[in-house]
Amino acid sequence: MAEIGKDISKAKILLEQGELVAIPTETVYGLAGNALNVSAIAKIFEAKNRPHFDPLIVHVPDFNSVNSFASEIPEKAKKLAQEFWPGPLTLLLKRKEIIPDLVTSGLGTVGIRCPNHKLTLNLLKELTFPLAAPSANPFGYISPTKASHVNDQLSDKVKYVLDGGDCEVGIESTIVGFDGGQTIIYRLGGLSVEKIEAVIGKVEIQLNSSSNPKAPGQLKSHYAPTKNLLVGNLDLLVKAHHGKKIGILSFQKIIPDFPITNQKQLSPTGDLLMAAQNLFAYLRILDQLDIEFIIAEEVPNVGLGRAINDRLQRASVRIE
C-alpha cells in the first residue's frame, strides 16, 4: 500500500527522483509525475494501464508558467485563465518542444491547467518542472475523489498519496481548445459551458469519442464501474428488472419498496454541484455491493449537469 500523508517536502523529493505521487485537486485525485521526464511519464501510463494514444494534462502553479510550455496563447485563452484559474479548466494550446511527445500522444497541442487546491499549488510552486497528472485510477475506471480511493486501486504503483481531503468539484476539468477564431470544448467538466460563454461568447462542443482523441477524456468508454451500468428512466428500469439484485443511482428520488442500502441520491435537494461532488464516490459505493448491475438516471442537462450526464453515458457503454 502507498503511504498517505500531507508532507509536501516528501512528495517533492519523490517527484524529483522520477517517482509517482498522487496529488489532490478540486476535481479528482491525479497520478502525478515530472511532465518533462519521459521515464516518469512512462510510469504513469504503465501504472494506469493507459493507452499511449490518450494524452495527459500538464499542471502548473500559475498562468505565467504557461509561456514556458505553450508556443501560442490566444486572447480568449488568456481571458478564461484570468477568470477561472486556479480552477477546473484545462486549456488546449500549441505546445513547445520542451513537452515530450509521450505527454501529448504526439499531438501538436498540450492540455495545461492550474488546479485549485492549496496543497498541490504549494507543491507546484516548490518544483522546477510541471506535473503531468491524469486521474489516479486504473484506465477507464471510476475517478478517485478521496485519498483512500487511490490506495484502493493503485496501491504499490504509487509511492506517496498527498492527502488533501475530499475533492470539492468531483468531476474532471473542462477542456477548451482554440482553432482559428473558434473556441471548442473537447470535454465537459467542472466548469460549465454557460460560465465559459459568459466570458468569451459562443463556443462549439466536440466530444470526440473515437480511439484517436484530440484531448484527454474523450474516449467513448470511460469512468466506468466494474458492474454494468444502465442509464434511463428509473421507474421503468426498476420495473423491467424486478427481482434482480441491482443498485440505483438517482438524482433526487428514492424508489419505494426497494432496499434503501442499494440506493444513492446524488442530491436530495436538486443541487447539481452536490451531485457532481457525489457522482464518482457513489458509483464506487454501489460498485462494491453484492449486485448484478447499476441503474441510473440523467440529471437536468444544464450547467454541471451536462458534465455529469456525459460521465454517466461514458460509463454506461459497457452494457450490451
* Rounded Cα gap, residues 152 and 1, in angstroms: 8
- 75-84 and 193-200 helices, crossing angle to 10°: 120
pTM: 0.91
The pLDDT value recorded for residue 1 is 78
pLDDT in tens, 77-132: 999 999 999 999 999 999 999 999 999 999 999 999 999 999 999 999 999 999 99
- Compute the residue count for the chain: 320
The pLDDT value recorded for residue 6 is 97
The pLDDT value recorded for residue 209 is 57
CATH number for 228-318 (one of 3.40.50.11030, 3.50.50.60, 3.40.190.10, 3.90.550.10): it is 3.40.50.11030
Phi first, then psi: give them for residue 305, nearest 5 degrees.
-60, -30
Residue 71 CA to chain centroid, in angstroms? 25
Architecture of domain 3-205: Alpha-Beta Complex (3.90)
* Rounded Cα gap, residues 107 and 56, in angstroms: 11
Domain ranges of the chain: 3-205, 228-318
Q: Which residues pair with 264 in a beta bridge?
A: 249
CB 188 within 8 A of CB 207: yes
* Grid cell locating 266: 446524488
Q: pLDDT tens, position by position, for the chain (320 residues)? A: 789 999 999 999 999 999 999 999 999 999 999 999 999 999 999 999 888 888 999 999 999 999 999 999 999 999 999 999 999 999 999 999 999 999 999 999 999 999 999 999 999 999 999 999 999 999 889 999 999 999 888 988 999 999 999 999 999 999 999 998 899 999 999 999 999 999 999 999 998 655 556 666 656 566 789 999 999 999 999 999 888 999 999 999 999 989 999 999 999 999 999 999 999 999 999 999 999 999 999 999 999 999 999 999 988 854 44
* Rounded Cα gap, residues 77 and 73, in angstroms: 6
How does strand 174-179 pair with strand 182-187? Answer: antiparallel
The pLDDT value recorded for residue 320 is 41
CA dihedral of residues 255, 261, 263, 264 (deg, nearest 10): 130
Q: Is the dihedral of CA 124, 126, 130, 131 positive or negative?
A: negative
Q: Which residues pair with 294 in a beta bridge?
A: 229, 247
The pLDDT value recorded for residue 222 is 67
Closest CA to 45 of 34, 31, 62, 61: 31
